[in-house]
Amino acid sequence: MKRTVLITGASGGIGLELAHIFASKGANLVLVARSKDKLDTFKLKIGKKYGVTIYNIGKDLTNLDAAREVFDEISKKQIHIDFLINNAGFGDFGHFAKSSYEKQLQMINLNVTTLTLLTHLFLPDMIKAGYGKILNVASTAAFQPGPTMSVYFATKAYVLSFSEAIAHELSKTGVTVTVLCPGATETGFKDAADLEQSQLFKNKNVATAKQVAEFGFKKMMKGDVVVIHGFKNKLMAKSARLAPRKLVVAIAKMTLRKK
């Protein structure tokens, strides 16, 4: 029996690259994103290339009801999800006091609430089957506070903590949880978060979405829990946990500063 993967944020970047990887391994796909038109275009290309079944769901996952609606739609189709990829997320740049509260709330809804609810909804069937793998996409932002991106960094810290905790809870169930923590990556993220002029993207060799996706897939299949892409990013994450907090915050602020 073929395995099936559900990928959120599948219309581009890491999510789309993961779709290609899973399809190349023979897995059927359930792809979720706001733009169903984009998903339908990819469905034709990926389905024809790999000969897999693809089911697309156009859904704005910033809405609190969206996760439940996705689950209900998949349940009605009697599709069993073996792999859950919580990839959808976005960030925003600017001082919190001057930011749009609605946008910050949407960020929390997507990065935290939707991810948590989708995990909660699909976990029971995975546990019952004795097999399942969940990949939650966080960020190296999870290891530190981020002045000018305070809510985004905080949401990714949640994803890291949540994923580590439930990975431990599920240790004897046959279900694994992996949290992927990439650094700066060439996706649509920097444009959406208004970071194209920041030191974060100006001063580093930025990874491609394909590189991060391949790394994340490999580590998820091994069942690793916390995985950080790139040697420099690993060093940063370790130092952030050991260095004085004031220094960590100051360095993060410099990294996010625009030229």
Q: Which of 50, 55, 101, 152 is catalytic?
A: 152
Alpha-carbon span 226 to 237, nearest angstrom: 11
Is 152 catalytic? The answer is yes
Q: Cα dist. 52→29, 72, 100, 131, 218 in Å?
A: 8, 22, 42, 21, 20
- 256 Cβ neighbours under 8 A, 6+ residues apart: 93, 146, 147, 148, 149, 195, 198, 199, 200
Alpha-carbon span 17 to 12, nearest angstrom: 7
Handedness of CA 40, 41, 47, 48 (dihedral sign): positive
Among all residues, which ones are annotated catalytic? 152
